[in-house]
Amino acid sequence: MTELTVGTLLALAALSYVLYPMFTSAGNASVLSEERVSVASEENRNSAVDALREIEFDRATGKLSDYDYDALKSSYTQQAVAVMRAGNAPVCEQCGPRPETGAVYCSSCGGALAAGVLGP
């Protein structure tokens, strides 16, 4: 009988340890959403820049023709610029980055917008 009680208490302790962050993160939602946007934007920016470096290397080693390089460079440059510009967009805590550059309130939910989390 004692083993059952101890096992149950240990199971409840483990369950509360695992579920604790879910109940305490509600107060930190704005910080977490800004961090998620920042990490996602930084990853997108890094992947676009990495792709540009990769095609430059492929062209230098002869794996990529000049015609293909020009087409890919144009495409990847547009993606990189779009990601970098999106980093300066206002951010809604509930809806994420917004397309309106000078907005103070979100056009979807009406909440106050924070400044973009990435620099120019």
Residue 74 lies in a domain: yes
- Encoded tokens for 2: 């004692």
The residue ranges of DSSP E strands in the chain, in sequence order, are 91-92, 96-97, 113-114
Q: Distance between CA atoms of 42 and 48, rounded to whole angstroms? A: 10
Residue 120 lies in a domain: no
- Encoded tokens for 62: 């002869």
Q: Check if the beta carbon of residue 101 is closer than 8 Å to that of residue 112.
A: no
Per the structure, the count of domains in the chain is 1
Q: Domain of residue 39: give its range.
A: 2-114
* Per-residue model confidence (pLDDT) at position 117: 45
pTM: 0.42
* Per-residue model confidence (pLDDT) at position 106: 81
65-117 pLDDT tens trace: 989 899 989 888 888 777 776 656 677 777 777 666 677 788 788 888 776 54
Bridge partners for 97 per DSSP: 91
Burial class (CB in 10 A: 0-12, 13-18, 19+), 114: middle
Angle at the Cα of 101 (from 96 to 104), degrees rounded to 5? 75
* Per-residue model confidence (pLDDT) at position 99: 65
> Helices 29-60 & 66-86, crossing angle to 10 degrees?
160
* Per-residue model confidence (pLDDT) at position 40: 53
pLDDT at 118 over 50: no
* Per-residue model confidence (pLDDT) at position 115: 60
* Per-residue model confidence (pLDDT) at position 5: 92
22-80 pLDDT tens trace: 776 554 554 445 555 555 555 666 787 888 889 999 999 999 898 989 998 988 888 87
